[in-house]
A and B are shown apart, each in its own frame.
Chain A
Amino acid sequence: MTAQVRTRGAATGAGVLWNGGESGARGLVITNAHVVRGDRATIELSDGAVARARVVARDRKRDLAALEFEPGRAMAATVVRDSPPLRVGELVIAIGHPGGLVGAATLGIVQATESAREGRAPRWIRADVRLAPGFSGGPLADATGRLVGVNTMMQGNLALAVPAAAVEAWVRRSHAPVAP
């Protein structure tokens, strides 16, 4: 589910393969807004395929960006975990490309789950997992490989990820689904 994102030839971060071009749709990679500064980027998928991508949506506040690309051959997209809710202590895996390394993984646990106050969804997933630059925009997955968040930044020793549900809502809102 991980893609490497490069802008102007340099590896700048990771991305989540949101749509791998199944059923003829266009490919979509979600990453952090701070990973793609310009309008264009190159993505490399886990099977080695390289594609040129275009930024179709960006939200600097949430630090999210959506990249569209023409898939070579269809790849299975990310499976989002909608339920059950995350538990403190649960294992999480972050995948990214620190220093341009492909497919590096680091294991940690959920550090805190903010109690959803007044029905509002928590703003961040806090994980006790050590991230390096290059993990930005990449997936945070649970022990079964389902997406729980998009790794965004480190706060001290803590990794902050945008919850998958928030990413899903943002994609629905800001990125008009591309009809085949």
Chain B
Amino acid sequence: MSTVLQSLSTELADAVESAGRAVVAIHARRRIPASGVHWRPGVVVATNHTISRDENITATLPDGTTAPATLAGRDPGTDLAVLKLAGQKVSTASLRLDPSPKVGELVIALGRPGPSLTASWGVVSRVDGPWRTWQGAEIDSLLRLDLAIYDGFSGGPLIDGAGRVLGINTSALARGVPVTIPVATVERIVGELLEHGAIRRAYLGIGTQQVRVPESLARKLELKGDVALLVVSLEPGGPADRDGLLLGDVLLELGGAAVSDAADVLAKLGGEGVGKPLAARVIRGGQVKMLQLTPGERPTSRAA
């Protein structure tokens, strides 16, 4: 019986050791450093929220030495950041794109909040389809974890029992609940950040709230659904404000599709939507009105 435990123990420690060779510490904020993963030769992936300065960033490598790193781009939407690390001999992570993780699969979260490696273990607690972060970025699949978070968790990799990377961990996308950004999403964002330095993401500058349209009004206006979106905030000078949307308008349709949830609006935006007008159907003063809204590019400032 002890041999089963012993071999599991050895395999776990082997997985940690091999994957740990690609995990670095990122010094880009006060106090405790965060983690990063050497994703491709010379390219380190980390989390955006743990990088509070754009310059004077250093990385502690697995061998304990320190090297300068430069910020290549960051994306608040997915909480990812890409750094460049020149001329260093660090292993690159071995990635597992397929098969996707399963609920109940044994996983390990690695971190390097300083010179030494840390690990916590647990299981994948939820796997689901694509989802959007509160800033509108699309993540290819939802991966929630049942494991403990320690210093250095964010920016570190989630690995499987063989030491292969399943994604980048962050505690900043779901109110402190540990979430993993899957390999597919990281690959896409790394590619875009290396090319453009930022992720173009369309936005309208509105805040909305779900409202039920009174039945009589819905019948009178011949609406399909009975839930729409009340505009409760409007960024002054933002795209929607410029195009004449008013506070109190009730948004029924955008780009030809009914909207009953903020996610429906985000689905019409995305990176390619910048500058392309969308037809908007709204209720204003009891009447249906058509507007043209042209999404702008979401500012890339940290607070965006």
Q: Which residues of A contact B (CB under 8 A)?
A: 87-91, 108-115, 126, 128, 142-145, 156-158
Contact = CB atoms under 8 A, between A and B. Distances in A.
Contacts of A113: 116
A128 B121 CA distance: 7
B6 A114 contact: no
B116 A128 contact: no
Given A88-B17, A128-B121, A128-B148, A143 B6 contact: yes
Nearest to A86: B13
Given A109-B121, A111-B150, A143-B6, A90 B116 contact: no
A110 B119 contact: yes
A88 B117 contact: yes
Interface in B233-247: none
A87 B150 contact: no
Nearest to B120: A128
A87 B16 contact: yes
Main secondary structure of the interface of A (DSSP, over half): loop
A92 to B, nearest CB: 8
A113 B16 CA distance: 12
Contact of B119 (A128, A143, A145): A128
The 7 closest A-B pairs by CB, nearest first: A89-B16, A157-B148, A91-B9, A143-B9, A87-B13, A143-B5, A89-B13
B114 to A, nearest CB: 9
Contact of B9 (A90, A114, A157): A90
Contacts of B13: 87-90, 110
A89 B119 contact: yes
- Using C-beta atoms within 8 Å of the partner chain, give the interface range for chain B: 20 to 34
Interface of B: 2, 5-6, 8-10, 12-17, 20, 64, 108, 115-121, 147-150
B150 A108 contact: no
Contact of A91 (B12, B14, B64): B12
Contacts of B64: 115
A173 to B, nearest CB: 28
A89 B17 contact: yes
A88 B110 CA distance: 10
A153 to B, nearest CB: 16
B154 to A, nearest CB: 15
Among A87, A110, A112, A142, find the residue whose CB has the most chain B CB atoms closer than 10 A.
Answer: A112
A88 B14 CA distance: 9
Given A88-B20, A112-B116, A157-B149, 8 more contacts: A88-B116, A89-B121, A109-B12, A142-B9, A143-B8, A157-B120, A157-B148, A157-B150
B123 to A, nearest CB: 13
A115 B2 contact: no
A87 B17 contact: yes
Nearest to A90: B13
A82 to B, nearest CB: 17
Given A89-B17, A144-B2, A112 B117 contact: yes
A111 B9 contact: no
Contacts of B14: 89
Contacts of B10: 90
Contacts of A142: 9
Contacts of B119: 88-89, 109-112, 128
